Structure 1
């Protein structure tokens, strides 16, 4: 009896939450996801966003510098340093910014900033080159630059495009973006994921272990769903003609096991070398929803017709120029987002950072990018007062900047320590125990 009363502790909360969150995954997908999460506390953090929301959603500290209508915007919802990346904009320029909107939702800006700051600490510790002092300086740079960008505005901002490119980025991002532009491109992407049949048709290369051929019935189901998606587009010409489709597997960390497809469609010139790859991914709703009470969940469900609509709306709000293929489709009782896979898709290799000044510059840049996209997204919510977000943050924080930066730093360091503790719990409950069982079976 007494033992049962002690179940309300962190260890049991973590085990129960991870079990419940991964219950619907098939055994193979669950094994792959857990193997990825076991690689490091940071990978574990990426695979357990539900724990972050369970812990942080009702944290009273968000009322110190927000928690009011004016500090609401579209947030990315799963902010971490590897959800920023390189991709091409509508002009073909290689830019750097947020590149994942699966968990995007309207909420308080601080959740993104806090989660990003926690990821910075965990990533630094995985890197192994930066001590506590260097991490503290990077956190200060992140929060300080976010605050600088988020509290400044000008009437000309409404017509100004803000890109983070090799032309306006310093080291080390500048060299990274130049390398991406030089080494990547549409043809290189197509050569990675596709091959030519003997008849000269380009199709996906299912020798790639990350691709899986569909059965005839599954292909028909997909094609029927894709036709309905095409009908929602302004352009239903051969530009959207499907040349091949496959399952995309072994992708992501938190999303590993989520049904996902790649579709190869005809490019604008009708040749082989300008074909487009569409990334089509099941949308089950942001992890934050698990922390909402009944009234909040009802309001959320009333706001969007389905998760595809929410994803597309968030993408258009946060991204400067969402691709022309952005949309959604319904298939097998589920909703899938549709977007182009960028030929320049790449992640900045934080494991290569070895200078403290470069770490600080990247931290400041992440803060700048996040603030810029929060500001842009807030204007879709406040068309009559497009600078409400900036004005609200200025009223709440100017004169208290030091306290703001210290709060972000404290939350990041303390929660990173909690994640590391939860990671050890996860290993003991889900990884080490499984290995012990396997060894027992061999005896």
Structure 2
């Protein structure tokens, strides 16, 4: 079976390069691939790679294809619109438009608490909605599938010494997921998505359920356990929660820990302005404000601030459980909408409003603090930070001492299940979406795999181009 997969992969790669050659004779004759990458990154980041010293984001993207893919969502949709990434038209024609994540990849799922930091029920769910919109479910399926292949390649490169990782101190005794395991994982992800849609068809209450139960042998069990400990009331809330790690408790009232390189103090005028503008959108008193630095892979020129919110009569450390962090983040247009805004009138909402609308739709119990504000000629997303948010990096499930193929498969099957539930909530009045998925997606499962395999090769080539742009003299 494995030998057959290798042969299949070989012919799929040959097929891909034929399509690239064909495109080079037609559409790409107008614009080179280098120019396409430069345009996409300039559009997203406000600066072109190769213009002087490379910015930190572009340096990170050039380090490995998985990083490149995470930071280049706009290019993904440019390529769909141009036909470089060819998703089966028949599939899109038959699946109803629904709420999609937009930037769906292996690290945009994880554990969080429902209702933001106000809840204590830990669930596994999609956790990134900045590029959410009304669109085709196939976008999320393909983007996630490509990320599986790139994560495997990245982790295999770490083990071989080709890539570096801050998450791993030593690779001794560790092994990476195999290329064959990544292919099986894509198949398992799509099949899990289909099976969950079948469950939703047979149980009208399944749409209101969540993914939150894992046995001890499951790859996600330790991450679920970690998240529960960090939730309000958990054993590690005062030491490991996102709130505890962000604040300084040495004074009478907690404030942000400005010794961290993640935070920057504000001047008095900006502090007072933010306090005045955003106080109506939080559920308690603002105790402190800071600028958040270096957060997110996709955005570098979008400002964001953290508000420490809690009771005005804060008494002692026990009251920390009454506090939470609210993020105020500048929003830009969702990545798909450069080309696909007209799929739904909902996509004409301002960027922050659209994110709020989609997040509320895709989650069973969204953050209690979730809103949008127009300020300084920009649109700002206001949302609660989860105390126990636990993300998953490729290194967490693709590099292990034993059975990394099995761990990856378990992980992506849970992602497929959670994504199907989130997509199904785009229409809570009928099961037309689930019916269409069950009828049409199985016959296109192999096409999805083919698209993922071919585009992963494209991303690897794109990473080399960006690396050359960042280092023109090498």
Normalising by structure 1, we get a TM-score of 0.84
Alpha-carbon spacing, 1:24–1:197, altered in 2? closer, same or farther (3 Å): farther
Which residue in 2 is equivalent to 1:89? 114
* Preserved contact between residue 221 and residue 331 of structure 1 (Cα < 8 Å): no
Match of 1:103 among 115, 124, 131: 131
Between the aligned partners of 1:29 and 1:178, the Cα distance in structure 2 is: 43
Tell me if the contact between 1:265 and 1:278 (Cα under 8 Å) persists in the aligned partners: yes
Shift in alpha-carbon separation, 1:307–1:14, aligned structure 2, 3 A: closer
- Asked whether 1:416 is paired with 2:462, we answer no
Question: For residue 372 of structure 1, what is the aligned residue in structure 2?
Answer: 421
Residue by residue, what CA displacement relative to the aligned partner does 1:261-312 show, whole Å, maximum 9, x if unpaired? 100011599554121101111111201122247xx289456x42x2222111
Q: Partners in 2 of 1:339 and 1:311 — Cα distance?
A: 10
CA distance in 2, matches of 1:168, 1:160: 22
Partner of 2:339: 291
Report 1:286-435 matches (<5 A): 286-292=334-340, 296=342, 299=345, 303-304=348-349, 306-353=350-397, 354=400, 355=403, 356-379=405-428, 383=429, 386-397=430-441, 401=442, 403-429=443-469, 431-433=470-472
Distance 1:183 1:313 in 2: 28
Match of 2:38 in 1: 15
Tell me the secondary structure at the aligned position of residue 92 of structure 2: coil
For structure 2, the residue ranges without an aligned partner over 5 or more in a row are 1-27, 157-175
Counterpart of 1:136? 183
Cα-to-partner distance string for 1:232-284 (whole Å, 9 max, x where unaligned) = xxxxxxx4210011111101111233211100011599554121101111111
Equivalent runs, 1:117-132 vs 2, <5 Å:
117-128=145-156, 129-132=176-179
Alignment of 1:206 with 2:250, yes or no, is no
SS in 2 for 1:273: helix
Could you tell me whether the CA contact under 8 Å between 1:76 and 1:103 is conserved in 2?
Answer: yes
CA distance in 1, matches of 2:151, 2:92: 27
Paired with 1:330 and 1:197, the residues of 2 have a C-alpha distance of 35
The runs of 5 or more residues in structure 1 that have no matched partner are 231-238, 437-443
TM-score normalised over the length of structure 2:
0.79
The answer (yes or no) to whether the contact 1:22–1:30 under 8 Å persists in 2 is: no
Deviation string 1:105-135 (CA, Å, 9 cap, x unpaired) is 0111100100000011101111112333212
Instruction: Give per-residue Cα distances to partners, 1:138-174, cap 9 Å, x unaligned.
Output: 1111111111212443464347632222456851111
Q: Distance in 2 between matches of 1:24 and 1:14?
A: 12
Distance 1:111 1:51, change over 3 A: same
Q: Secondary structure at the match of 2:379?
A: strand
1:76 is aligned, of 101, 106, 125, to 101
- C-alpha distance in structure 2 between counterparts of 1:268 and 1:150, whole Å: 47
Q: Does 1:34 align with 2:85?
A: no
Residue-pair matches, total = 407
Is the Cα contact below 8 Å between 2:352 and 2:381 reproduced in 1?
yes
Q: Is the contact made by 1:263 and 1:278 (CA closer than 8 Å) also made in structure 2?
A: yes
Q: Kindly state the Cα deviation for residue 414 of structure 1 after the two structures are TM-superposed.
A: 0.6
